[in-house]
Amino acid sequence: MEQRISFITLVVDDVEASRAFYVDRLGWHEELHVEGEVLMLRVGDKLMLSLWDRAHAEAELGPMKADGVAPITLAHNVASESEVDAVIAEARAAGATLVSEPVRRSWGGYTGYIADPDGYRWEVAYNPGPIGESVLP
């Protein structure tokens, strides 16, 4: 098996609320939208973020843990601290919930966290090291 990921799928309570957040307010472009069932957003050359309705997902996957915060974070890396602040402000204006204000981290980066409508945590990060630089467009 090749070392790669093709899809990251998040199970959501309301695909249309997710679409309103990611597409209408953040301005992301949808690759596929089946109303009430799934929304797919291309987030990399060969990587999709899929937002899948809970009822449809559970019909295929079985019951899923519904309480608490999902044990996953997604990251959006940028090239400077000021971009971290700007992206967090943009996401908040689009309806994201602020989880933590951006701060300088002990490892040398600068990050803050927001949550999407389903509570998925997005880290907005400036990582001045080689790995952080390697993921920038």
10 touches 120 (CB < 8 A): yes
Q: Tell me whether residue 96 is exposed, middle or buried, using C-beta atoms within 10 angstroms of its C-beta: 0 to 12, 13 to 18, 19 or more.
A: buried
3-state secondary structure of 56: helix
Flag whether 2 is in a domain: no
What are the pLDDT digits (tens) for 54-106?
Answer: 999 988 888 876 677 777 899 999 999 999 999 999 999 999 999 999 999 99
The confidence score (pLDDT) of residue 66 equals 66
Residue 28 has pLDDT above 90, yes or no: yes
What are the pLDDT digits (tens) for 32-57?
Answer: 999 999 999 999 999 999 999 999 99
Chosen domain end from 61, 81, 105: 61
The total number of structural domains that make up the chain? 2
DSSP state letter for 133: H
Give the alpha-carbon dihedral of 8, 21, 92, 11, to 10 degrees: -40
On whether both 43 and 82 belong to a single domain, the answer is: no
DSSP state letter for 2: -
On whether both 27 and 77 belong to a single domain, the answer is: no
What are the pLDDT digits (tens) for 110-126?
Answer: 999 999 999 999 999 99
The confidence score (pLDDT) of residue 62 equals 85
- As a whole number, mean pLDDT of residues 11-25 equals 96
Flag whether 45 is in a domain: yes
Q: What is the residue range of 39's domain?
A: 7-61
On whether both 12 and 53 belong to a single domain, the answer is: yes
On whether both 97 and 47 belong to a single domain, the answer is: no
Flag whether 1 is in a domain: no
CATH code, domain with 90: 3.10.180.10
User: Token pair of 36, please?
Assistant: 């009430």
Distance between CA atoms of residues 112 and 52, nearest Å: 26
CATH code, domain with 39: 3.30.720.120
